[in-house]
Amino acid sequence: MSSVLAASVLKALDIAVLRRKGPLDYEIYGQTPEFYEKLFRENASPAHTRPWEKSAMLRLFLSDAELFFDSNQTGLIFSGIWREEGLTGPGEGLSAQALNLDAEKFLILRLLGDEFTGRTRILQESRDGVLNRRKAQNHEGALFQSDVADPDRETSLRNLYEILNSYADTGPEFSLLMLDIDDFTTLNAVYGQDVCDAALVALSDFLGKFKRIADKTTSCGGGAFAVVAPSTGQSQSLRMAEKLRRAINEQTFGALPPITVSIGCSTSRTGEQQAELVARAQLALRDSKQDGKNLVRLR
């Protein structure tokens, strides 16, 4: 397939591709689709090559993408799905991927329509199959052991949505708590991956003991976890999150020093899609990080 034809196909599928030239230096590959022009184009200028400057969710993902590219590991990492408030339409979601082909590196942005949940599930299952086959063939498994290049994020995302969907039609409101270990990349660099992996297992066990019987927990990869709390409103979720934050700060996790977590909370709204609930919790988590870490924030 010619590069011109490939670029046309990408545009028709609402896929925007940026080729990486260096750290935080990208160029547009081919033609950008309409959604990209709408969200990331500057007035009277060529297509915007720094889209993360206009999207908080994409900016969060970019830090992982840049670390992934600099690690020189080939493969793919996935951002999850989010919505841009006031810009994406009903039933639409955005996703981003960082693709390292060794010779070239790409940042891929895609607009997903009404069927995005089903389509994403199929893609994730296919991707999981490929990763599992690679694991069986490659016992070194560097790509699969790195918290930066974490293929389990796709599985974790699917697990989270399955949990959320189980509450979608139950009637009473429920809340989502997303927590992330503060400065986890630094801890990983100082204490080593094995120590941090053991700490993650210990933290997962702690969450299992801390949660109420009806609550569900899942790992989100790279030092992040989610807690789904049924029959829990905003004020109750904040109290729960604050209690959890303090409890973690008082615990010892293996060889690590006392760790802190930032927590973002969101509570279900009538008629809201699960992607919106997740996006609000992620934004609240970002707020807690930006406000100084070791905090609880609500969106």
Q: What confidence category does residue 93 fall into, taking pLDDT thresholds of 50, 70 and 90?
A: confident
pLDDT at 175: 92
Q: What is the arithmetic mean of pLDDT over 147-169?
A: 62
Q: What is the arithmetic mean of pLDDT over 145-164?
A: 56
What is the number of helices (H) and of strands (E) in the chain?
Answer: 10, 10
Q: Of the spans 8-22, 40-54, 93-107, 124-138, which averages the highest pLDDT?
A: 93-107
155: three-class secondary structure by DSSP: helix
Predicted TM-score (pTM) of the model is 0.50
Give me the sheet containing 216-221, strands edge to edge. Answer: 216-221, 224-230, 174-181, 261-267, 296-298
pLDDT at 245: 92
Looking at residue 51, the DSSP 8-state letter turns out to be: G
Q: Residue 168 phi/psi, 5° resolution?
A: -60, -40
Q: What confidence category does residue 136 fall into, taking pLDDT thresholds of 50, 70 and 90?
A: very low
- The CATH 3.30.450 domain(s) of the chain lie at 3-137
Amino acid identity of 95?
S
């840049």: which residue's tokens? Answer: 66
CB atoms within 10 A of CB 165: 11
At the fourth CATH level, the homologous superfamily of domain 167-298 is Reverse transcriptase/Diguanylate cyclase domain (3.30.70.270)
Q: What is the pLDDT of residues 228-270, one digit of tens each?
A: 998 888 999 999 999 999 999 888 776 677 888 999 999 988 8
| Strand ranges (E), the chain | 15-22, 25-29, 75-82, 93-100, 105-112, 174-181, 216-221, 224-230, 261-267, 296-298
pLDDT at 263: 95
Q: What confidence category does residue 196 fall into, taking pLDDT thresholds of 50, 70 and 90?
A: confident
**Run of H or E including 218:** strand 216-221
Whole-number Cα distances in Å, 1 to 4, 6, 106, 170, 245: 8, 6, 18, 49, 53
- 3-137: CATH topology is Beta-Lactamase (3.30.450)
Q: What confidence category does residue 143 fall into, taking pLDDT thresholds of 50, 70 and 90?
A: very low
CB atoms within 10 A of CB 237: 24
pLDDT at 144: 26
pLDDT at 107: 92
Q: What is the pLDDT of residues 11-39, one digit of tens each?
A: 667 788 999 999 889 998 888 888 888 88
- What percent of the chain clears pLDDT 70, i.e. is strictly above it? 76
